[in-house]
Amino acid sequence: MTLDAAELRDLTGRLLNAWDAEGHPTQISQPRARSGKKITTTDVARMECVIGLTRHVHETARAIDVLLSSGHSNPAVPLVRLVYECALTATWLVQSENDDGVKAFMHEYTRQQKSLQSTLEREMTGTFRDRSVDVADTDMSAYLGSADNVRRFDLICEDLAPGGSDAYVYYRVLSSLSHAGVPVVDLYFSPPQAGEVMPPPRQQPDTALDSAFLQFLTNAAMVWSGRAVSYLSKNLSYRRTLRNAATQLEITSEIALSDVYRKRHAATRRKKREAASR
């Protein structure tokens, strides 16, 4: 990465302006994976998920930029983790075959809703128990049988190229500083002196990750998620903007499905053919 901190922040502003001016799709068509096929209600759900995730990437990028420009890089880390996850998920969803991707996405949502309902039903407080019946979208039956799994983000990373374990490492590093744990505690204490037991508190918190790196990942997330939407909108001008930004960031804007994904789906299709021929 050759861009310095000021250039990265300038690129953040340009990507946000491009999204505001051209990114929001006004006309939507099928992505390449579904080209020529009639738009179904499942297609609409996929499009809604891709666009919604991408909008959240850009809205959150504004907050990240405020934090980083004010010198608050540590509080920005969980937000960078969020935009990174949203961007790669949108990239994966828009290219997914048939209905498997969006079915897996909705299955995970309904699984979490069902889990929430079960938790409320076990609560000692009557008010919580009474509200359990109001939890919406708890029926997972319509989303069973997908060849995909979004419960584990490492599997989404494995389904992308470039991606795989390298992409997941970034997520793990960001996650370690986004939850209550030792890495967060260590930000506020220095190593103890020889012979001392109690580590001295830092006057200022340690900086976990360089702000330029966080700005870089935020920009990359806007490129990848914006590219996912461009598969639906076919806006060539916006696509060129994203490709130019990717060149500056020294990344690819064209993340594709990996051989891992394609082999799994080929195996699933083969099993279905074999079952049908019996």
165-195 residue pLDDT tens:
999 999 999 999 999 999 999 999 998 888 7
Which of 92, 86, 99, 104 shows the shortest CA–CA distance to 150?
104
Q: What are the residues whose beta carbons fall under 8 Å from the beta carbon of 195, sequence distance 6 or more?
A: none
SS3 18: helix
Instruction: Give the predicted TM-score (pTM) of the model.
Output: 0.92
Name the residue type at position 163: G
Q: What is the pLDDT of residue 241?
A: 97
Query: In the chain, what are the domain boundaries?
Result: 5-99+162-183+202-277, 100-145
Percent of the chain with pLDDT over 70: 97
By three-state DSSP, how is residue 96 classified? coil
Q: 93 near 50, Cβ under 8 Å?
A: yes
Structure tokens at 228: 């996912």
